[in-house]
Amino acid sequence: MSLPASEPLARDEQSLSAARWGTRTQFFCSGFLFATWGVHIPTVKAHYAISEGALGLALLAAGIGALLGLSRAGVLVGRFGARGVALICGLLAALVLGLLLGLPGYPGLLAALAVFGATSSVFDVAINAEASEIERRQGYPIMSHFHAMFSLGGMAGAAAGSLLLGWQVGAVTHLVGAALAGALAIGWACLQMLPPQPAAGDEPGFRLPRGVLLLLGVLAALGLISEGAMYDWSVLYLQKELGSPQDVAALAYASFSGAMAAARFGGDWVRARTSPVMLMRASASLSALAMAAVLLVGHPVVALVGFALVGIGLGNVVPVLFSAAARVPGTTPAHGIAAVSSVGYLGFMAGPPLIGGLAQGSSLTAALFVVVLFAAVLAALSRRALPAG
């Protein structure tokens, strides 16, 4: 007896709904694990008794691992599917996090952070490829919502770390507990993801992006440099340049990141009603104008409001660019996202030393005008890189 036509449709919708919840969880876990590592960077430095230079080298090892992972991410996702790659890489990243304070000295730390960077970057490509496929199947935007879950996970990870440090919970207990919780959540979420799709022929190896993918990558780099500048320097700007007390200066990070998360939760509603070009232009222009006002007025209240507006403006830059990368003709979503991510991540790594060097040569206020410049370039180039409709 044949099934009613509505039953396969109902099963498809149930599968898609489960995949949405699984992918939301994956993005949350990615942000949570990353924030947990960030909370314990000073702990790692003290535990291994290393200098700032040695810590910088360890962070560079993680960055190099991430770039190496991105160079193979498209091939791995194409061959094994987003679900299998997310499971293996997500569990490995959680395992490394749990072992961070139990490694055989500094060389072990370098190797572990390289693995952490590689597995985290491939995990991110896999879940972004899954998000792109869900968005394609359901026919309306949802990428910004997934990235909002990453921001929410980051806020939750930072808040949990702050609370546990205040309660004097041991660092090893925190790292192992976070790793176990993350591994369990990732494992459950992978069971909800869409079944792997058969690969269409041989998957090409990594190639330096060209054409539209290169331009999308450059725009991602500009956005990530601006985003990183806000995370790394906004608190110091209020404290050093505007003379704010530490408790007020700390609100700079909260103002920016909270507004960015809110913008991402509302971003899909906006994306469904406007073109990617219009959204990128408006968002980047808002960031440029708000940051210019912050730096020209030089008042703590204006700065906090301005940082929130910058967060609203930058919130949907990466989701819009990743959605566009997943739809570039002649490439798979995983390859497109990996190519754009690799160029964007280079910018993310170059951002902090760029701002620091400019600040040392002039002032932090002058250096932060880079955010104004890059946001303006994002607005200007959006029409060349993004579809008009």
Q: Go through the domains of the chain in sequence order and give each one's CATH number.
A: 9-195 (1.20.1250.20), 207-389 (1.20.1250.20)
* Residue indicated by tokens 């490829």: 129
More confident residue, 88 or 197: 88
pLDDT at 4 over 90: no
Which range, 74-83, 84-93, 201-210, 250-259, has the best average confidence (pLDDT)? 84-93
All residues at 6 or more sequence positions from 381 whose CB lies less than 8 Å from its CB, including other chains: 215, 218, 219
How big is the chain, counted in residues? 389
Q: 41 pLDDT band (50/70/90 cuts)? A: confident
What does the DSSP 8-state code read for residue 242? S
- Per residue in 254-310, pLDDT (tens digit) is 788 888 889 999 999 998 889 999 999 999 999 999 999 999 999 999 999 999 999
pLDDT at 160 over 90: no
* Residue indicated by tokens 């190519």: 339
C-alpha atoms less than 13 angstroms from C-alpha of 274 in its C-beta half-sphere: 16
What pLDDT, on a 0 to 100 scale, did the predictor assign at position 195?
85
pLDDT at 347 over 60: yes
Residue 255 CA to residue 103 CA, distance in Å, equals: 36
Q: 365 pLDDT band (50/70/90 cuts)? A: very high
C-alpha atoms less than 13 angstroms from C-alpha of 155 in its C-beta half-sphere: 16
What pLDDT, on a 0 to 100 scale, did the predictor assign at position 13?
76
Q: 166 pLDDT band (50/70/90 cuts)? A: confident
All residues at 6 or more sequence positions from 313 whose CB lies less than 8 Å from its CB, including other chains: 263, 283, 284, 285, 286, 287, 288, 290, 375
> How confident is the prediction for the chain on average, in pLDDT?
87
Mean pLDDT of 94-118: 95
All residues at 6 or more sequence positions from 361 whose CB lies less than 8 Å from its CB, including other chains: none
What does the DSSP 8-state code read for residue 241? I
All residues at 6 or more sequence positions from 360 whose CB lies less than 8 Å from its CB, including other chains: none
- Per residue in 197-236, pLDDT (tens digit) is 655 544 555 566 778 889 999 999 999 888 878 877 887 8
Residue 65 CA to residue 71 CA, distance in Å, equals: 10
Residue 142 CA to residue 98 CA, distance in Å, equals: 32
In the chain, what percentage of residues exceed pLDDT 90? Answer: 50
